[in-house]
Structure 1
Amino acid sequence: MNNEVTLCLDSESLKHPEVIGLPDENLLAQPWLTLYSDAFEARKSLSIGDTKTLVWVISCDSMEGINLAAALKMDSELLDVWYVTFEQSGSIVGRCEAAGIGVIRGSHEFVKAYTKAKQRFRDSCINNSSEDIELEALHESQYSDSLSSLNSLDSARKQDVYTKEAFGPLGLDAQVVGELEKNPNIGIWSSDTCTSDGITQNQKEGLKNNKSSKGPQIIEGKPLQIKSAQETTPLSSLAIEEPLLNLSRFKKASSAKKTAFSLAVVSGSGGSGKSTIALCSALIYQDLGYRTLLLDADLQFGDMAYMLGRDNAISLADVIEEPERIAQVSPEDGLPAVIAAPERLEQSELIVSHMAEIVEFVKGYFDVVVLNTGSFWTEQHAQIIESVDKTLFVIDQRPSSVRACSRALALCSRCGIAIQPFAYALNFCSRHALLTPLDISCAMQGISVQEIKDGGREVGELLGASLPKELLSTKSAFIQSVRELCVSFLPEGDKERFQEQLALEKSQRKTNPFSSLRKRRVACL
């Protein structure tokens, strides 16, 4: 394969290169670029090469771009594979690093890489202008490869790679312009129209006579047109990366405020008590004096707003459409602020890929942000885990929950997601429980596991009736164990202060262990 760069891009984006940051660029007419839209065709052609090849993967028609990039890297070690992503997702970087793939993040970096490769090809044209036969063969090979790989795109224009239209708005820098002014017969950016082979006969003659010719080259009665350094379009005007969401356009009221502490509560399976623990954690942080937000990132069946008694809570979709409404999200009556899951399930698909940006946005308005997540693991979990300060993994008493936790951690490891910030808690602990934290620790290769006491039916009944404050006021063993867990996640100064307070409360409970029992009996009488 003689071309300098291979680009894997889906057919629709190839028809509209402006979506990848290259407006008015004719990708088919670039002799230095080999194009593939079909994943099978790309793997078949690239795997048989015996030279080192630079490959950019953006997308394809038959599979996800990142999966194609990983497959190409496994097919041949000679391929220098780079995945181009326009999403602000740290998980993408981790996955690419695990697969040995480079990452080009955003249209700004991609346009720079594209322009650099294009400039390198132009420089080689200038330095090897006398070798026009090789250049012609290179161009003809590129054109035939493009037609065979993209036969469905009949509308592709067969225009000269050296015309102004083919180069689009990406101009030459001052150094190249100077070289062209010294050697005007090279034929780059002529005003004539090319023939079907891509290079006009006059341009070929100009290349052959480049060394001997002194005066300016005239092509079919028209002088050669070359952009000057002043006429070239600056790269910065093309490399403006559009924000992913309206959140990026909304300026925060106070940029000097420190970023909130963020905690994500996750589990490997449903029914572990994850949502209850997330809600109680937000209640406890608010009770400790922190301005707290409970963000319901269970995009399918989240019901945090209902359990808090906030039927009219602002949802994630509302905040994305109107970021200024974040000012209306605030704690009320001793309860934490809440951003509800989208009301319409179909809106979830639009939010999943932008969770990292959403988390960073809301952290600027609160002291603590607690995120409730869904039990079905998706890309959103990877983004959330990499965006928060601490992740609490909740395990219940079922052996299947332990296996689900192990498999989820293995998934994180394969995707390059760090699991060191994880904390683990075993829920529903009691004297007659099947498992203990020690059992989980032995099964999970010695990880530290904390216990959360079983709250019994009382927890579900109070939250089901939207009475979170009443649940917090019970100061049951469940609430106390969640409180101790939440305090352990705080920064050192605050943690020591609250730990002393918890120790004092625990000593007072030990002084009169039957006080709560007597109160209940009196209430019954």
Structure 2
Amino acid sequence: MTNRGYVMLCSCNPEVLPAGDVTGGFPSAIEGLAVEVCAEAASVRERAADDDLKALWVESCEGIEPINLAAACKSDHPATEVFLVAADRTGSVVSRANAAHLDGIVHPSDLGDRLREAALRLAGDEKCGHREERAPALTETPSERGDKARSGFLLTVVSGSGGAGKSTVAVLAALAGARRGLRTALLDADLQFGDLGDLAGFCPAVSIEEVVAKQAVPEEVGEAPLALLRAPRALERSEAISESLGALVELVCQAFDFVVVNTGGSWGEQHLQLLERSAATLFLVDQRASSVRACRHALDLCLRCGIATSSFLLAVNRCTRHAPFTSIDVSSALDGAHVVELADGGREVEELLGSGLAHDLADEANPLYASIERMLDELLFLPHQEAEGGVQVSLGRIGLKARTEGAGSKRAKRKGRLSRRDRVLAAKAR
């Protein structure tokens, strides 16, 4: 190899390039075109550190999924162009490539031409003007974004079992986002039994089926401060709609600043697509021991599927002073994971949401709504702090990490509880 740079193909498949597709001989002619071939994942990841490596195509390797190797190489060296070679362009594959910030997905039939063109560019042939089709990046600066479609903040609400309060939390989180001035969409991905249309109350709404069919969000819905995308009314339509969920989410994220997705209790392929695409995932646990066990079960599934959990935020729901579980209990059960608490909002939560009066919970500063607002403070943009170009600066995302609170913070919490009790007693005395 010369110092002009080279490109690399990671493949253990001898038939990935048809005979004579790049040049007549393989691999000797490829060597002449500054293309290297390697099949060992560890070697590819090590070679990705080479400054002379300009682009990497990952088709297959030993012992690791190609998407995971491509994601690792891109994470280690963001300046290197990394492409996934795959014939499968389902929503799951595309969302995983986007989440890893890969530069594109190349079909195997186009690989030979792409390698030749890249190698000829490195050799100085400026007549080769074709550029790789780049997958849309999810975290670009304004200068990088240019005229590209923007991508809103996607928050997915999940749980390991039904009844944890996903629908309630999703509705109130979307309402809190809208009240912060973000154009917000509430997407009901509980495709079989979603009922957000009843809980959200009066707001512009459109059926998911209509958006999928038209490949666009209606203008009157897209311009609303808070919009609802309803689940299919016909139960038998849910399976067909689930196949388009990945493309639907991308479409909605381009139309709104903040997208909150509610999910069903039964996990499927659509859950994995959403987890891979989300900027943050809120994982709910309620006050049942079975809910904690189900959470552990679902997290193990994520690890087996290679889904990063760094953007997960665990929250124990319906917390009161006498609740069976606190954030400390759940954190201990989940190996020290960081867990926040969502307060029990009382009977009025079910009464008002059942009547479509979610706004009343916000107006009355319901404890559950207040705790959701505090949670969003750590996930969403700061409304008052701006960076260069007028772009809002986002707070650090919450990941699964050990708690670092010391004795001082515990004393502060205990003191806060006493002061609140004193205020309540004083109010009753008056």
Bin the TM-score by the shorter chain.
Answer: 0.5 to 0.7
Q: CA 1:349 to 1:482, structure 2 compared with 1: closer, same or farther past 3 Å?
A: same
- Aligned position for 1:276: 168
- Aligned position for 1:28: none
Q: CA RMSD in A?
A: 4.6
- Aligned position for 1:326: 218
- Aligned position for 2:276: 386
Q: Secondary structure at the match of 1:314?
A: strand
Paired residue for 1:480, among 370, 384, 387? 370
Q: What are the residue-to-residue correspondences of 1:477-516 with 2, within 5 Å?
A: 477-491=367-381, 494=384, 513-514=423-424
What is the distance in 2 between the residues matched to 1:322 and 1:517? 56
Q: CA 1:348 to 1:115, structure 2 compared with 1: closer, same or farther past 3 Å?
A: farther
1:293 touches 1:366 (CA, 8 Å); kept in 2? Answer: yes
Letter aligned with residue 383 of structure 1: Q
1:266 touches 1:274 (CA, 8 Å); kept in 2? Answer: yes
Residue 89 of structure 1 pairs with residue 112 of structure 2 = no
What is the distance in 1 between the residues matched to 2:283 and 2:293? 13
Letter aligned with residue 112 of structure 1: D
Q: What are the residue-to-residue correspondences of 1:167-316 with 2, within 5 Å?
A: 255=147, 258-310=150-202, 313-316=205-208
Letter aligned with residue 89 of structure 1: S
Deviation of 1:391 after TM superposition, in Å, equals 0.6
Answer 1 or 2: which has greater strand percent.
2
Deviation of 1:517 after TM superposition, in Å, equals 6.3
Q: CA 1:495 to 1:489, structure 2 compared with 1: closer, same or farther past 3 Å?
A: farther
Q: Secondary structure at the match of 1:348?
A: helix
- Aligned position for 1:109: 107
What is the distance in 1 between the residues matched to 2:182 and 2:286? 29
Q: Deviations over 1:338-376 (max 9, x none)?
A: 111112222222222332222121112222111111111
What is the distance in 2 between the residues matched to 1:401 and 1:331? 38
Q: CA 1:115 to 1:393, structure 2 compared with 1: closer, same or farther past 3 Å?
A: same
Deviation of 1:114 after TM superposition, in Å, equals 8.3
Residue 372 of structure 1 pairs with residue 262 of structure 2 = yes
Letter aligned with residue 327 of structure 2: P
What is the distance in 2 between the residues matched to 1:328 and 1:486? 27
Deviation of 1:475 after TM superposition, in Å, equals 0.6
**Contiguous gaps of at least 5 residues in structure 2:** 1-12, 17-38, 40-58, 65-84, 117-129, 134-145, 387-392, 396-415
Q: Deviations over 1:424-482 (max 9, x none)?
A: 11001001110110011111111111101111211011111111111221212111111
Q: Secondary structure at the match of 1:376?
A: coil
Q: Secondary structure at the match of 1:483?
A: helix
What is the distance in 2 between the residues matched to 1:5 and 1:270? 47
Letter aligned with residue 86 of structure 1: R
Residue 414 of structure 1 pairs with residue 304 of structure 2 = yes
Q: What are the residue-to-residue correspondences of 1:457-476 with 2, within 5 Å?
A: 457-476=347-366
Larger Rg belongs to = 1
What is the distance in 2 between the residues matched to 1:383 and 1:370? 15
- Aligned position for 1:161: none
Q: CA 1:330 to 1:411, structure 2 compared with 1: closer, same or farther past 3 Å?
A: same
Residue 451 of structure 1 pairs with residue 351 of structure 2 = no
1:91 touches 1:382 (CA, 8 Å); kept in 2? Answer: no
2:216 touches 2:251 (CA, 8 Å); kept in 1? Answer: no
**What TM-score, normalized by structure 2, do the two folds share?**
0.60
Q: Deviations over 1:266-320 (max 9, x none)?
A: 1110000111001000111111221111111111111112212359831111001
1:90 touches 1:386 (CA, 8 Å); kept in 2? Answer: no
2:96 touches 2:273 (CA, 8 Å); kept in 1? Answer: no
What is the distance in 1 between the residues matched to 2:380 and 2:302? 24
2:160 touches 2:291 (CA, 8 Å); kept in 1? Answer: yes
What is the distance in 2 between the residues matched to 1:396 and 1:381? 19
1:281 touches 1:483 (CA, 8 Å); kept in 2? Answer: yes
What is the distance in 2 between the residues matched to 1:268 and 1:516? 41
The percentage of counterpart residues that share the same residue type is 38
Q: Secondary structure at the match of 1:84?
A: coil
Deviation of 1:494 after TM superposition, in Å, equals 4.9
Deviation of 1:400 after TM superposition, in Å, equals 0.9
Answer 1 or 2: which has greater helix percent.
1
**Contiguous gaps of at least 5 residues in structure 1:** 7-52, 54-68, 75-81, 98-102, 120-235, 241-253, 500-505
What is the distance in 2 between the residues matched to 1:325 and 1:514? 47
1:313 touches 1:339 (CA, 8 Å); kept in 2? Answer: yes
